[in-house]
Structure 1
């Protein structure tokens, strides 16, 4: 017999397993206070998933509010939708809008790597679809333990296969991202997925249930027992040291069903018969019903008996908590229901009317003719607990910052520099990632203009005019460990710069904030500092935060991950034909280093590669005025067709930017380093810098533009066309030897 609302009134003292569902004592007491009685077991299930850390942001809300103080204007105009919606929507001109967002699927990907990563992609794609947009591309930011650790070799191949398998089956190009390695991610990998979609302004849809009498329709896959409390509860607690133990909680994806769901939903939008829509992500039906109802102008009635099930033995609580994939919920006027069902049948998509919008402000759910849920949906979806967690600066940070990489010994002999160059090129965070990216389709749909290994991905939006977008997804966790405020800003600056060097104008960001346990005051300090860093940085750059995701409890036992605020930047380019590629193309071209190089080695790849993983000191300084000036210069150069290539400087510094520019087309160079210390010149990771090449005929114009924009520019050499990397007076390395060093690490570890 179901635990009904009437039964709950009659049995106030029944013991309920709220702690096993992740509900704290004070939260359970508050639920009872809100309801004026004990919750039914179905209501307890709903509150437990919707008030989980993953769904309610209860530990991060007080800090995330700071993003609301940012302007909602992009350099191209006001946001069409921002924080609080399924995804942000940006006007890019000519009647087009772009929606993009990043989300995490970290814990499920550790427990079951393939399905965890695959359903992470599926979930973010549905967020984009729910805004009325056609998904057109994906990206991912992945972080694992050391490359040769046994558990990395268990997790990494499955995650990559899941990301590629799901995205490839959907026909979505994977146009960029990153793969990084650090011991802190052993036992807690990060899988952050981004999706971007395009729509016309008039096609924008929002998630709300409006219009009394309108029908509530569940469409897509049937509901199963997979993913019960999967992302919502699994991602709201810390793993212990025994490893993955929650395999049944991970959702199982079906990309072919999702492809049908995408096409079906887009046709439903085109038919203009949807009044409100919500995708099913974490918390399943609990989320879709409570969020639609709370954002609407009435209540909602749902008959749980009508929900199509893959497992007829599911209890009502399990149906409400299931996170089975490929499901959507729509609100439809009665006159349009027949047409809705007709379109779903055309695409072989299961669709069932499960309820309706009702007067009042209650969400009422019945099972076998009895009421098992009677709640104010706002208390479920938007009025959960808000914690002001204590936080303080870690005492150990003083010792870390007092041990800078700048004080480490440097071997500036020819052999010392050769060894350092080889160590940096073969470091997991720099080495070639083709083993990963060859499993992704980068060019499906035919509109990929740039993809890995370029600095950012680029997609054409309008074939007639060439209007396009660029996207980058970056995090520098080493910098964020040394100083989370500056580290978050440096991640923002790198992503911004990656977009700018292609010639696109950066206009907006999304973020995915990955940290350890919020119950650790030192972790919460890292989180708070990173948020303020991003707020201040976005204000300086003049770009808004359109939305994002917070992932906490990323730690194994008492060991948190390095703080990892991942930042996605969206850029707009008026004509993709003007984009700038990253590789050297023409022998005889002049090579210029843009920006200023400081003695900034702390947090660098050089430090990690040559000093046995040392991590200390302060990260590079951030100059957002210099970043803006560089971005403006790159846009002007793209429009004028001045440059042959451009590559941002980040991990590995000038040495890696030069090597990667040479590897791209197999063309060597000869450069003379400035009179500074060679280790600094080669490996410092100062921000606001780029490496460019250009024909001699454009040098005078280029130097004038640099002077006008206030961007320091030093001519350091030329593209030779010879098969070698020559650092004049220091060392010369065969291009093939250097490339082999760079290519080897991932295949050697993964086969």
Structure 2
């Protein structure tokens, strides 16, 4: 088959600028072949090369005594003691999910699970952070139903509990939803597998499912804005098979026990191209591939298609040749392909052969390391104007507006479609803050959460970035877990716009400050840029996934409020209403500054909660909706009423940070007050859990009425 002629239009269609194409000509000294153009496009697109973000990502704290492996591998690794570690990462599948909701979300789950078990870890938990457009937008219901069904369809069949996450709605996501998928797994610290190839002349082995044409060009598509040609991009969305993925995981973990694996890499974005180049580059080796040996499920596939296919459930491995027979037997047992498709070579070359022809011959290290790195112009986000007035509302009316909003109503319709009890180690189910999963065979447990408040980030990227980390820290602390480390999924618009790049830079600065102050380094992550449609960008959404450790399940704060329990707030309440949920949902105003985040107070108050967990029966961090929403949610979960002493809007709905709502009996409340005084931590009694009414000052409503509204408020999003 004749290859297409390289033209300006073809170069542009591959997401390469004229300057980038000129750099390719300089590197290889000739015009690239069509396959080589595709390879450069795959390796140099934003999704794979981080060319707009690398400069700023390097500033993030990524190290600590608990960190075994930081960014740069398939996932981050953190020590949890006793010879075990937790392996975790969060990644986006935004563009594919907007084009094809079910498969886009499903393959997002599949890809993040492979990142985890590729390193030798068995997945034990998944989460998802989802952002959709406004409820009455014509596409929202289809997206919500398709994405949720895709996540459940893949994760449930694979067999991993989905223990948490978040769902939000905002007009800024009308043309570009966000699907951020998180997975975590357990491994032994002496049995971790990495991707760097080693040894010359070692077989390069293709593992898993066959290669098809689905997903060709997917990484390039993920690095571009949407426009009215969106339907033409549907073929770039991969198709997933969770049952094959399950077999692939079992075969991979079994293979690792044979000693045959020298290095191993998931075939994710840019498929065979990215996996082979990364393995060779990390090991300082070249790679030679013979595409005639690649297992294919479609006829007459070209070299270009095979190199750029993002067909799912595939891995690439460098094999110890002495153990080839044992390795092949494992994959044949699991009815999966095992094919030697190449070898490592001493020369710095990425050599691709197909049909006895050389389809690509490129300098591998340069291909990997010479991706353009841009210092994009950026402008600082202007300081937000203070609120012109502080709105007042009857407290029950304000609360009712929040609990009936799809943003703050109960999300049981979502998480009940996910299996959260598979593996039988889930200790705390979704819908109650951080999810908690037992470390199987021990008394330890791990807690998981994902958090961000995009309104805050848009108003004040630095404080918004800090707040996302701080809220994740508080959510882990609220179940008694010691926060260990974080992963980030940085979703932004077009970085070529200085104001968007300024949001990104500010958020990175805030995140960096917070992870350093709270000792929760970033160990893995993903950047998703160009989340725009027809020039309209999303809200800046730097999602933070966080993992915490409970040394014993006895340390879990997992109870509920009981009749007669005292309600207390740990932390200072000033009544900050700028960018608050109340302002947005009730008054349709996104105004004012984000709340200030005092990281010293966050650390001090978090330590206090964990140090005094035996005195606390139930705990929730205070964030969106402030005291009113947190108290209602605690009451609703406990099926007991609550009476709050305050009746003013700022005290009830303000979103001051570094605060926790706790419930405990009278004796424990007294002891907590004494401990807080000794520690210099602010604490205030704000009311009591009792009866069957929700009362705030003189305003009241039956708990049952508000609970029904809370449980049905999400219905409009999916019916």
Instruction: Sort the TM-score into its range (normalised by shorter chain).
Output: over 0.9
1:346-745 alignment to 2 at 5 Å? Answer: 346-393=333-380, 397=382, 401-402=384-385, 404=387, 407-411=389-393, 416-464=394-442, 466-581=443-558, 583-584=560-561, 586-612=562-588, 614-638=589-613, 641-673=614-646, 678-720=648-690, 722-727=691-696, 729-745=697-713
Asked whether the equivalents of residues 386 and 578 of structure 2 are also in contact (C-alpha less than 8 Å), the reply is no
Tell me the equivalent position of 1:58.
Answer: 51
Displacement after TM superposition at 1:83 (Å): 1.2
Tell me the C-alpha RMSD between the 2 structures: 1.7
Asked whether the equivalents of residues 454 and 581 of structure 1 are also in contact (C-alpha less than 8 Å), the reply is no
1:334-345 alignment to 2 at 5 Å? Answer: 334-345=321-332
Q: Does 1:208 align with 2:186?
A: no
Asked whether the equivalents of residues 66 and 484 of structure 2 are also in contact (C-alpha less than 8 Å), the reply is no
Relative to 1, partners in 2 of residues 1:609 and 1:294: Cα closer, same or farther, differing over 3 Å? same
Relative to 1, partners in 2 of residues 1:169 and 1:577: Cα closer, same or farther, differing over 3 Å? farther
Displacement after TM superposition at 1:15 (Å): 7.3
Q: Does 1:224 align with 2:212?
A: yes
Further displaced range: 167-176 or 36-45: 36-45
Asked whether the equivalents of residues 598 and 658 of structure 2 are also in contact (C-alpha less than 8 Å), the reply is yes
Asked whether the equivalents of residues 213 and 334 of structure 1 are also in contact (C-alpha less than 8 Å), the reply is no
Matched residues in 1 for 2:258 and 2:678: separation? Answer: 52
Asked whether the equivalents of residues 629 and 710 of structure 1 are also in contact (C-alpha less than 8 Å), the reply is no
The TM-score normalised by the length of structure 2 is 0.97
**Corresponding residue to 1:252 among 239, 249, 268:** 239
Matched residues in 1 for 2:621 and 2:250: separation? Answer: 38
Matched residues in 1 for 2:707 and 2:374: separation? Answer: 51
Displacement after TM superposition at 1:631 (Å): 1.5
1:407 aligned counterpart, secondary structure:
coil
Displacement after TM superposition at 1:50 (Å): 1.1
Tell me the equivalent position of 1:153.
Answer: 141
Displacement after TM superposition at 1:708 (Å): 2.9
Displacement after TM superposition at 1:504 (Å): 0.4
Asked whether the equivalents of residues 224 and 311 of structure 1 are also in contact (C-alpha less than 8 Å), the reply is yes
**Corresponding residue to 2:275 among 285, 288, 309:** 288
Deviations for 1:109-157, whole angstroms, at most 9, x for unmatched residues?
0000000000001111111111111111100000000122211011110
The count of aligned residue pairs is: 719
Tell me the equivalent position of 1:102.
Answer: 90
Matched residues in 2 for 1:107 and 1:261: separation? Answer: 26
Tell me the equivalent position of 2:63.
Answer: 72
Matched residues in 1 for 2:182 and 2:565: separation? Answer: 36
Relative to 1, partners in 2 of residues 1:149 and 1:16: Cα closer, same or farther, differing over 3 Å? closer
**Corresponding residue to 1:190 among 178, 182, 186:** 178
Deviations for 1:688-726, whole angstroms, at most 9, x for unmatched residues?
111111122323322222223322111122221x22112
Q: Which stretches in structure 1 are left out of the alignment for 5+ residues?
A: none
Q: Would you identify which runs of 4 or more consecutive aligned residues in structure 1 move more than 3 Å? A: 13-16, 241-245
Relative to 1, partners in 2 of residues 1:481 and 1:565: Cα closer, same or farther, differing over 3 Å? same
Deviations for 1:412-451, whole angstroms, at most 9, x for unmatched residues?
xxxx332212112222221111111110111110111112
Relative to 1, partners in 2 of residues 1:648 and 1:16: Cα closer, same or farther, differing over 3 Å? closer
Displacement after TM superposition at 1:28 (Å): 0.9
Relative to 1, partners in 2 of residues 1:16 and 1:93: Cα closer, same or farther, differing over 3 Å? same
Matched residues in 1 for 2:187 and 2:600: separation? Answer: 33
Matched residues in 1 for 2:99 and 2:276: separation? Answer: 28
Matched residues in 2 for 1:274 and 1:178: separation? Answer: 37
Matched residues in 2 for 1:417 and 1:547: separation? Answer: 42
2:91 aligned counterpart, secondary structure:
strand
Matched residues in 2 for 1:215 and 1:739: separation? Answer: 61
Matched residues in 2 for 1:388 and 1:582: separation? Answer: 49
Asked whether the equivalents of residues 446 and 548 of structure 2 are also in contact (C-alpha less than 8 Å), the reply is yes
1:275 aligned counterpart, secondary structure:
strand
Displacement after TM superposition at 1:555 (Å): 1.1
Relative to 1, partners in 2 of residues 1:488 and 1:241: Cα closer, same or farther, differing over 3 Å? farther
